Amino acid sequence: MDRLAALFEQLPLPEITRVLRRAAFAGIGVGVVALGLSALLGHALVGLGACIGLALGIVNIRLVTASVARVNASPVDRPKRVLASQTLSRLAITTVIVIGLLFASVQLGFGTAGGLAAFYFVLLVNLVRAILKQGTTGAHA
């Protein structure tokens, strides 16, 4: 958690907002492509699952930013503990959703897991891109 916070501290707040927005729009694009390709290949449930996974990733990131804003706005004795417990709760809920979908339909469950992985990969690529861009321009927060 400290390493991730240190990573985000390298970027100004407007850039973090742009990174999250780009990741969300790229996730939507990936979902459209996944749905189209999987339908062409005869596995529409995999594409639907990928869209569900991408949506879960986007919702999770929005909940993370809301949690951080809430913790920063109110005086909390142990902010790291509060954020960690909320993160653990979101991870548990996401896991239950994926496993539930896996029991409902193997294609849907694996598609959802793949969609989640794809979203976080897209987020990581956008974050690395922003950090590298920040380093080449020499601007610091």
State the average pLDDT for the chain. Answer: 85
Indicate if the pLDDT at residue 52 is higher than 50: yes
Global pTM?
Answer: 0.81
Least confident of 14-23, 58-67, 128-137: 128-137
Q: How far apart are CA 13 and CA 70, in angstroms?
A: 16
| pLDDT score for 101 | 94
pLDDT tens-digit readout, 18-28:
888 898 999 99
Indicate if the pLDDT at residue 139 is higher than 70: no
Token couple for 24: 């969300």
pLDDT tens-digit readout, 104-119:
999 999 999 999 999 9
Indicate if the pLDDT at residue 47 is higher than 70: yes
Q: Minimal CA–CA distance to 109: which of 65, 48, 64, 55?
A: 48
